[in-house]
Structure 1
Amino acid sequence: MRIEHAALYVNDLEGARAFFETYFGVVPNDGYHNPKTGLRTYFLTFGEGDAEGAAARLEIMTRSGLEDLEKSTMRTGWTHLAFSLGSKSAVDELTARLKTDGYEVLSGPRTTGDGYYESSVLGFEGVNIEIIAYGCAEYCLRATRNRVISGKGSMRLLRQLQIDASLWMR
């Protein structure tokens, strides 16, 4: 099982599409419009996809009558979208670019207490965007390697994680 896509209501559909195209290189579909409800959407595709060809997708949507509540960063519910860029320098560069373009950097770039190298930026319409250097497989491999080196794990587990990570990152 995998998440097929997530959806996000926005006020400015074209602005949201442009944000993700400009900063994250998404490929949007041609869009959809339901004239009965006024709903307009784009599906944004991130990257090439996994071994089965499945790529991460985000649906952005708008329609009239949306309630635009305050977007506090300290609230229940969805808190951020996270994107793995593959290197610390890529995190540094994109964070600097977003800041130069007027987006508020909430934190970082920094190494967090759980070992992620990341920054957090308020993107379009106040959506919290987390930019990280490495994805789960690489992060887990690094963390396990550190435990093994310190004598708290097994070499067999480390080797299996290396195999799993190499398959996952293809």
Structure 2
Amino acid sequence: MNEERNFAVLHFFVHFSIMGSNDKEKDGGDVVKFSELTEEQWEEWGPYLDTCILPVTGLNGTESPIEAGYRLEKLRDWLDGIEIPFRGRTVTYPAYHFVSEQLDADELRLLNGLCTRLRRQGFAYIVVVSAQLPLTSDKLPAADLVITPAELMEEEAGQVRSAMKMCVQNMWSVTQTQG
């Protein structure tokens, strides 16, 4: 059985590499975006693309265009820390952009509901990423992992990427040892 799964995973990666992607990253690898999957690919690859990344920009409408651009760039850099090392297992959804300055209970309820609906689409894991908001995992129980400055407690880019990678690997390994 394990050999069958290994073959299926290998087949998926070979097939994905041949099919390619429109989004070539710095290291030349493919990153899976929601808009690049066909219905047939989702049917075939869904079991392997088990992790949904939900970016949360954290804009509140008071930012200048320059500041909004800066925040989007920072979020993109944070996403690179997950998308690139874990390509072939993750799908990045469109960003949830605007929230109130206080991030009230209604907005948290909306984000938790969104995580729940994404899980119903077949994702085993939901990872919320924000380079801006002080979100913590206790505020988003519907997410399996929340990656924010408040959770990571890191500032330097290299340390942030390393911490993100470790968090995602821990999320997957804890689930495997429990199940």
> TM-score if structure 2 supplies the norm length?
0.26
Greater fraction strand: 1
Structure with the larger helix share: 2
Larger Rg computed on CA atoms: 1
- Bigger relative contact order, structure 1 or 2, given CA contacts below 8 A and separation 6+? 2
TM-score, scaled relative to structure 1: 0.27
